[in-house]
Amino acid sequence: LIMDLMDKLTHIFGQGLSNSFYPVPQQAIGVGSAFEGWSPHAQDTVYRVLVPLSPPPGHAFHLELDTAGVLQRNSSVRVELLCTCRREQLGEDMLCFRHHTEEELRMKQDPSLLHTLCTGSYLDVEKTVHWFYRFVSVAWLLLPESRHWCLMLQPSSCSCKFQLSKDKESFRVEMIFGVQQGDSDIFVGSQPAEAGMPSTTWLETYAVAEAKFFRHISRQAPQDSWHCKCLQLLSRFLTGGGFSSYALKTVVMHLLNTVPLIRWHRRHFQQQLMDILKYLHCSLETKQLHHFVIGNARLPLEISLPSSLRVAEAPNLFQHLASSPDAHVKALQEYIRLLHR
């Protein structure tokens, strides 16, 4: 239902934006626990989709990554105007933004992306999200689902959130917008940035690569594989302190990539739970848990990475435990609670 709705919205976007110079949304990609198959709380499930954005005609996107760190690098999406004089000569109904005067452009065609959703020369996260909110509220009325479902928008500055309700059914959806790095499975996305960062900051996200890994495993694993149930059960018991469900997910991904998949059959359920807990305990003791995607030589070849990330040193997700004794103690206490549950 969610992905069908996304396809219909994307189609309406394409029709409605055909003569404008806004970003062009591509087919949405399901990411996160709900689409990976291990959502811990059914009643609070959020269906997250990443909507890739392509530049409109006469524009190009250039990613400017901050090289200070590897994990969740900050990025800016610089928008460049391209010469389209050749397209004019071929009879296309579009003036060249670079070689026509401001007055000509203002009179004869819509403004460029630089004048709508950018701050300076950079694509602005908040302006992009607010614009999509407005478009979704209009596009929704054109869909047949609007006659049976109630759409309630939930404002956010870095993603488009809404709730769909019908009778006793209810779904929460979050649309994150992203710009692809080359032809890889790594994007920079409209995610919450640190306080004080400009609204032109986009964060590198590995959500598409991770979702693709879970789909790869689901095709390879036995039909009765319980790897998602293991992760779902353990993440359901977390109290929210010490370490996150993402750390648990990282542990499970590492094990899925090294343990023969036949051993994830339901009859080995108890053993797999213990293997996950042992791996987690060892990671907490050594204060080291390697990122799953970055620098992973065992990553399935169907997952495409930029060359710089494939050979990079894997960041330590537990680095903060090494620098903060209090955080380390809290993480160990969380582990003990998890073990007892």
Three-state secondary structure readout of the chain: CHHHHHHHHHHHHHHHCCCCCCCEECCCEEECHHHHCCCCCHHHCEEEEEEEEECCCCEEEEEEECCCCCCCCEEEEEEEECCCHHHHHCCCCCCCCCCCCHHHHHHHCCCCHHHCCEECCEECHHHHHHHHHHHHHHHHHHCHHHHCCEEEEECCCCCEEEEEEECCEEEEEEEEEEEECCCCCCEEECCCCCCCCCCCCEEEECHHHHHHHHHHHHHHCCCCECHHHHHHHHHHCCCCCCCCHHHHHHHHHHHHCCCCHHHHEHHHHHHHHHHHHHHHHHHHHHCCCECCCCCCCCCCCCCCCCHHHHCCCCCECCHHHHHCHHHHHHHHHHHHHHHHC
- Span 148-160, mean pLDDT? 92
Q: pLDDT of 95-131, one tens digit each? A: 889 888 888 888 888 899 999 999 999 999 999 999 9
CATH 1.10.1410.40 domain position(s) in the chain? 221-340
* Cut 0.85: pTM above it: yes
pLDDT band of residue 67 (cuts 50, 70, 90) is: low
CATH 3.30.460.90 domain position(s) in the chain? 1-206
Domain 221-340 sits in CATH at: 1.10.1410.40
pLDDT band of residue 309 (cuts 50, 70, 90) is: confident
Which CATH architecture does the domain made up of 1-206 adopt? 2-Layer Sandwich (3.30)
Q: pLDDT of 243-301, one tens digit each? A: 999 999 999 999 999 999 999 999 999 999 999 999 999 999 999 999 999 999 899 99
